[in-house]
Amino acid sequence: MALLGAQLVITLIMVSVIQKLSRYSFARWLLCSQGLYRYLYPDNSELKTLAGVPKDKPKGKKGGKGEPNGKPETFHIPRSLDIQLETAPVTALDVVHLRFYTEYLWIVDFSLYTAIVYVMSEIYTTIFPLKDEFNLSMVWCFLVVMFAFKILLSLTKQYFTSEESMGERSTCIVAFCVFLLIAMMVLIVDESNLEVGVDPAYDSFYENASKFLENQGLSSVGPASKLILKFSFAVWAAIIGTLFTFPGLRVARMHWDSLKYYGESRAAALLLHVNFSLPFVLALLWVRPVARRYLAGRVFSGMQRPL
């Protein structure tokens, strides 16, 4: 109970910090203070000067500037016109109107506060180990996952509600079918090769559920078949994969663009490649011969126990 009270104190402190620092945003600083620039579009007079279009003299006071008689000004310029666009640093006023901007601020700031709470809780539990108590930092991590899932759902929903997103909608449907097939193939792999944990979890669930039904005087062969359970997991994995389809494509595009800008620096290129490959390395930890043999079973030279 003492540890639980300490975790509650840490949680209350972080809630107070979030309330006091609401005007300061790490996400806004990350977006608007890290060297991002936007291009300034030229006005009509500059375009006319570059294209050699004669300027019209204003007639009367009915229309606005550059709009005689209240009608928009129209003129033609060649496509091959060489225009040198000026740049300006991106400020908060330039991005505040963008869609999902408030969601971006919330998820990034809340993830930062969650990381701080998690580190503080882990340090405290290292000094004072848990004794039949729940680590409240897991609740914060769960909330981050739920908020991210909500944003991904809202983003994917736009592809199915807009009339101009037929291509994106078709891509999501194809991605769902592909991920469903991959998930079903993964779930039929033996547990000795791929450590998914479905079989032991189902056996434990089946045993406890059968005992509960017997104590209630009900006769049943089991709450659900393993095939239905695995198919439900496959559908859930396919939905998650579909939600990450376009964000994954965007990450790949950002990686490609970053390599073009920082390709000359070997250190920066190495860090970019490591950052891009970390999800694949994390997925390899599900392979039992890799994770169990080298991380939990093998004792390397100079060490007394496995990693």
pLDDT tens profile 282-306: 888 888 777 777 777 777 777 777 7
User: For residues 133 and 4, is the Cβ–Cβ distance under 8 A?
Assistant: yes
Residue type, 122: E
Structurally, the chain folds into a number of domains equal to 1
In this structure, is residue 268 part of a structural domain?
no
User: For residues 18 and 114, is the Cβ–Cβ distance under 8 A?
Assistant: no
pLDDT tens profile 151-169: 999 988 888 887 777 888 8
Residue 190 to residue 213: CA distance in whole angstroms? 29
* Residue 39 confidence (pLDDT): 85
In this structure, is residue 87 part of a structural domain?
yes
Detail the DSSP E strand segments found in the chain: 37-40, 86-89
The b-or-e profile of 196-233 (16+ CB within 10 A means b, else e) is beeeeebeeebeeeeeeeeeeeeeeeeeeeeeebbeeb
For residue 37, the SS3 value is strand
Residue type, 136: L
Q: Is the pLDDT of residue 27 over 90?
A: no
Paired residues of 37 in beta bridges: 89
* Residue 189 confidence (pLDDT): 81
* Residue 57 confidence (pLDDT): 61
Residue 115 backbone dihedrals phi, psi, to 5 degrees: -65, -40
In this structure, is residue 13 part of a structural domain?
yes
Residue 190 to residue 187: CA distance in whole angstroms? 8
In this structure, is residue 212 part of a structural domain?
no
pLDDT tens profile 121-132: 888 778 877 777
pLDDT tens profile 214-266: 777 766 655 567 788 888 889 999 999 999 999 899 989 989 988 888 878 88
Residue 273 to residue 266: CA distance in whole angstroms? 10
In this structure, is residue 25 part of a structural domain?
yes
- Element spanning 156, H or E: helix 137-161
Question: Which of these, 24, 31, 27, 41, lies nearest to 91 by C-alpha position?
Answer: 31
User: For residues 117 and 11, is the Cβ–Cβ distance under 8 A?
Assistant: yes
Detail the DSSP E strand segments found in 155-272: none
Choice between 184 and 12, residue whose per-residue pLDDT is larger: 184
In this structure, is residue 22 part of a structural domain?
yes
User: For residues 124 and 134, is the Cβ–Cβ distance under 8 A?
Assistant: no
* Residue 168 confidence (pLDDT): 86
pLDDT tens profile 83-103: 888 888 888 888 888 888 888
Residue located via tokens 């964000």: 247
Q: Is the pLDDT of residue 177 over 90?
A: yes
Cα separation values, 238 from 44, 58, 145, 177, 213, Å:
50, 61, 17, 7, 32
Choice between 206 and 62, residue whose per-residue pLDDT is larger: 206
Expressed as residue numbers, the domain containing 149 is 1-32+81-161
Asked whether the whole model's pTM tops 0.85, one would answer no
For residue 271, the SS3 value is helix
In this structure, is residue 230 part of a structural domain?
no
Residue located via tokens 């680590």: 135
pLDDT tens profile 102-123: 888 889 988 988 888 888 888 8
* Residue 220 confidence (pLDDT): 61
Residue 47 to residue 81: CA distance in whole angstroms? 9
pLDDT tens profile 30-81: 888 877 888 888 877 777 777 777 766 655 555 444 455 556 777 777 777 7
Detail the DSSP E strand segments found in 95-251: none
User: For residues 51 and 81, is the Cβ–Cβ distance under 8 A?
Assistant: yes
In this structure, is residue 283 part of a structural domain?
no
* Residue 69 confidence (pLDDT): 55
